[in-house]
Chains A and B, each alone.
Chain A
Amino acid sequence: MNYPKITYTGWRKGKDKTAFVLVCLFSLITMFPLFFILWDVVSKGYKNFNLRLFTEVTPSSMDAMLARMNGEPIPGGILNGITGTVLIVGMAIIFSVFLGLFIGIYLADNRGKRFAGVVSYLTDLLQGMPSIVIGIITYAWIVKPLSGYSALAGSVALTIMMLPMIVRSTEETLKMLPVAYKEAGLALGSSYTNVVFRILIPSGFGGIFTGILLAVSRVMGETAPLMITALGASVVNWKVMEPTSAIPLLIWDFYNDPNLVELIWSSSLLLLIVIFLLNWIAKIVARKWKV
C-alpha cells in the first residue's frame, strides 16, 4: 500500500508559527484589563491611601466640599466601611462554613443517592443565581419581617452566595482523600463523627480552607445584595441588627457624590489589596497543606 507522503513544508511551518504568535497575543490581551485596572487604581488611589483612610469614618458631603474648596485633603476615611465589611463578611463566614462543611461532608459520602443528587443539583443552581436576586430574596426573608436593614441581613445574603463554593470545595477535597484514612479510623473503633472531624477534615484542611478564602474574596466586593439588606451607615456599627456599611457600598456612595469621588480609588485599592492577599494566602495554603 502507498502511504501519502507527509512533508513539513514552508506553508505548514508558516501556519504553525502564525498560530503560536496568535495564541501568545491573545494571552497577552487577557492580561491587559488587569494591568490597566491595577495602574488606574494605584495611580489614583495612593493619594488618599493613608492612615486616615483606616481611622476615620466617611465625612459628610458638606465637610468634603469645604475641604475641597480650601484645597485640603478629604477630611475622613472609610473606617465605617472596613468595620462593616469585617462584621458582615465575618458573620457570613461563620454561617456558610458551618452549613457548607456539613453539606459537603454529606455529598462526599453519599454519592449516587437520590437526595444527594438533588442537593448537588440545587447547589449548582445556587452558584449561578444572580447576586441581586439573592439580595431581594434576603430582603423578603429578613429585612421585611424584622422591619429594618441590618448587618445580619447582609451577612445572610453573602452566606447564600458563599455556600455553594464552600460546599463544592469541601465535597471535592473529601472525595480526593484516600478511603484508607476513613477505614483506618473506623477500624480503630472510632465513631463516624470522630473520623470526619478528627481525620478527614484536618487531612483535607488545605483544600477546604482554600475554598473558604476564595469564597470570601468573591463576596467581599459584592455591592448589589448589600444595598438592599445592609443598606449602609455613616458611623461605625458593630450591632448586628442595625444598618451597616461595607467597603463596596461606600464605593457606590462615593460614585454618587462628586465631593467624595476621590475616595473611590483608595477604597478600591484597599479592596483589591485584601482580595489579592486572600488569593495569595489561598495558593500558599493549598500548596503547603497538600496531603
Chain B
Amino acid sequence: MESVKITNGKSPILQLKAVSGSYSPGSYAVNRVTTDIYANTITAIMGPSGCGKSTLLRAINRMHDLYPHIKTTGEIILKGKNVLAMDPMEVRRMAGMVFQQPNPFPTMSIYDNVLAGYKLNDIRLKKREKDDIVEQSLQSVGLWDEVKEVMTKRGSFLSGGQQQRLCIARALALNPEILLMDEPTSALDPISTNKIEELLLQLKEEFTIIIVTHNMSQAARISDNSMFMYLGELVEHENTTQMFTKPQNKRTEEYLTGVFG
C-alpha cells in the first residue's frame, strides 16, 4: 500500500518504513507499515482486536526482543536513529512505555517507583537531583499533591488511576523522546480515565505520545492524528477530525460507523 503522510511543517520525530511484525514465519501481525509521527502530537492507533496495533507499538521500543519467536523487520527511525539497529536498552530509555494494567513495582515506595528507571540503569543521583526528578515527574502527572505526604508508602497503596499516573511519571522521569501507551485506560474507571486523558493533553506540550486504544471516542477526544489498522495493515493515518468526519477509506468508515470491529 501507499505510504500515508501527515505533515504539519516539521520533520517527523518517528518514521516507520515498511515495518512488519511476525509471530510465525509467513504470517504477519503487522504488514509493511510506513508512516511518520510528528513531535508534540498525540497519535491514536485504532482498529479491531488482533489488527496489530499493540504489535506495532511494541516494535517501537523493541519489546518483541523478549520473545524470540516474534520477528520485526523494516526500519524504525526515532530521532534520526534506526531503532532496530540500536542497543534495545538505549531505545527503551528514549521511548517510555505505559501498559494496560497499572504495574508499579510492588516492593518499591512511591518515591522509588518514580526513580526506578535510574535505579535499574545504575545511574547514581544526588539526593537533590532525586527529589527534583520525583517532584517534577509527579507534578507533571498531577499526582504530587495527592502523594507528597505518603512518599514512602508502597506504589500498590494507591488507587488504580493513581497507580497508572505513577507509572506514567515513572516513564516521564527518564525524559523520553516519545511515550508509548498500550490501552492505558482500559483497566480504569471513567473518572480516572478522564484524568489521564486531560493529563495526556498537557503532556503533549513536552512529549510525543502514541496511544493504542480500542475506544474510538477516546481517540476522537484526545488525539491529533489517528491511525486505523486492519489485518496488520495501516489503512489510514489522518488528522483525527478529518478521519472522524470524512474518512478516506471505506474500511475506516465502516469501522468508525460500527459496521465491524
B and A form one assembly: yes
Q: Show the binding face of A for B, using Cβ within 8 Å.
A: 178, 180-191, 194-195, 198-199, 202-203, 205, 291
Is the beta-carbon distance between A189 and B92 smaller than 8 angstroms? yes
Q: Give the residues in chain A near B93, CB-CB below 8 Å.
A: 188-189
Count the A-B residue pairs with Cβ separation under 8 angstroms: how many? 76
The distance from the CB of B153 to the nearest CB of chain A, in whole angstroms, is 15
How far is A203 from B108 in the complex, measured between Cα atoms in Å? 9
The distance from the CB of A110 to the nearest CB of chain B, in whole angstroms, is 11
Of all chain A residues, which has the CB nearest B94?
A189
Chain A interface, DSSP helix/strand/loop, else mixed: helix
Of all chain A residues, which has the CB nearest B117?
A188
Check: B97 CB closer than 8 A to any chain A CB: yes
From B92, B119, B167, contact of A198 by CB (8 A): B119
The distance from the CB of A211 to the nearest CB of chain B, in whole angstroms, is 18
Of all chain B residues, which has the CB nearest A184?
B103
How far is A80 from B116 in the complex, measured between Cα atoms in Å? 47
Q: Show the binding face of B for A, using Cβ within 8 Å.
A: 61, 63, 66, 89-93, 96-97, 99, 101, 103, 105-107, 116-117, 119-122, 156, 167, 170-171, 174
Is the beta-carbon distance between B120 and A190 smaller than 8 angstroms? yes
The distance from the CB of B5 to the nearest CB of chain A, in whole angstroms, is 29
Q: Could you pull out 16 A-B pairs where Cβ atoms are within 8 angstroms?
A: A181-B105, A183-B66, A183-B99, A183-B103, A184-B103, A184-B170, A185-B116, A185-B120, A187-B97, A188-B117, A189-B117, A190-B89, A190-B121, A191-B120, A194-B120, A202-B107
Is the beta-carbon distance between A180 and B120 smaller than 8 angstroms? no
Is the beta-carbon distance between A188 and B120 smaller than 8 angstroms? yes
Is the beta-carbon distance between B171 and A188 smaller than 8 angstroms? yes
Q: Beyond A186-B92, A188-B171, A189-B93, is A178–B122 a contact (Cβ under 8 Å)?
A: no
How far is A184 from B170 in the complex, measured between Cα atoms in Å? 10
The distance from the CB of B238 to the nearest CB of chain A, in whole angstroms, is 28
Is the beta-carbon distance between A189 and B66 smaller than 8 angstroms? no
Of all chain B residues, which has the CB nearest A179?
B66
Q: Give the residues in chain B near A190, CB-CB below 8 Å.
A: 89, 117, 120-121
Is the beta-carbon distance between B103 and A199 smaller than 8 angstroms? no
Q: Beyond A203-B105, A205-B107, is A186–B66 a contact (Cβ under 8 Å)?
A: yes
Is the beta-carbon distance between A183 and B92 smaller than 8 angstroms? no
How far is A159 from B174 in the complex, measured between Cα atoms in Å? 43
Is the beta-carbon distance between A181 and B117 smaller than 8 angstroms? no
Most B C-beta atoms less than 10 A away, residue of A181, A189, A198? A189
Most A C-beta atoms less than 10 A away, residue of B92, B97, B103? B103
Of all chain A residues, which has the CB nearest B102?
A180
Of all chain B residues, which has the CB nearest A177?
B106
Q: Give the residues in chain B near A183, CB-CB below 8 Å.
A: 63, 66, 97, 99, 103
How far is A288 from B44 in the complex, measured between Cα atoms in Å? 41
Is the beta-carbon distance between A180 and B101 smaller than 8 angstroms? yes
Of all chain A residues, which has the CB nearest B154?
A291
How far is A183 from B106 in the complex, measured between Cα atoms in Å? 14
How far is A198 from B116 in the complex, measured between Cα atoms in Å? 9
Additional 7 contacts, C-beta under 8 A, given A180-B101, A189-B92 = A181-B105, A185-B105, A187-B97, A187-B99, A190-B120, A199-B107, A203-B107
Q: Give the residues in chain B near A194, CB-CB below 8 Å.
A: 119-122
Of all chain B residues, which has the CB nearest A189?
B93
From A182, A186, A198, A291, contact of B106 by CB (8 A): A291
Q: Give the residues in chain A near B121, CB-CB below 8 Å.
A: 188-190, 194
The distance from the CB of A11 to the nearest CB of chain B, in whole angstroms, is 54
Is the beta-carbon distance between B103 and A181 smaller than 8 angstroms? yes
Q: Give the residues in chain A near B66, CB-CB below 8 Å.
A: 182-183, 186
Q: Give the residues in chain B near A195, CB-CB below 8 Å.
A: 120
Is the beta-carbon distance between A188 and B116 smaller than 8 angstroms? yes
How far is A184 from B97 in the complex, measured between Cα atoms in Å? 8
Is the beta-carbon distance between B92 and A187 smaller than 8 angstroms? yes
Q: Give the residues in chain B near A182, CB-CB below 8 Å.
A: 66
From B99, B101, B107, B120, contact of A189 by CB (8 A): B120
How far is A276 from B61 in the complex, measured between Cα atoms in Å? 50
Q: Give the residues in chain B near A203, CB-CB below 8 Å.
A: 105-107
From B119, B167, B174, contact of A184 by CB (8 A): B167
Q: Give the residues in chain A near B103, CB-CB below 8 Å.
A: 178, 180-181, 183-184
Is the beta-carbon distance between B63 and A187 smaller than 8 angstroms? yes
The distance from the CB of B76 to the nearest CB of chain A, in whole angstroms, is 16
Q: Give the residues in chain A near B63, CB-CB below 8 Å.
A: 183, 186-187
Of all chain A residues, which has the CB nearest B93?
A189
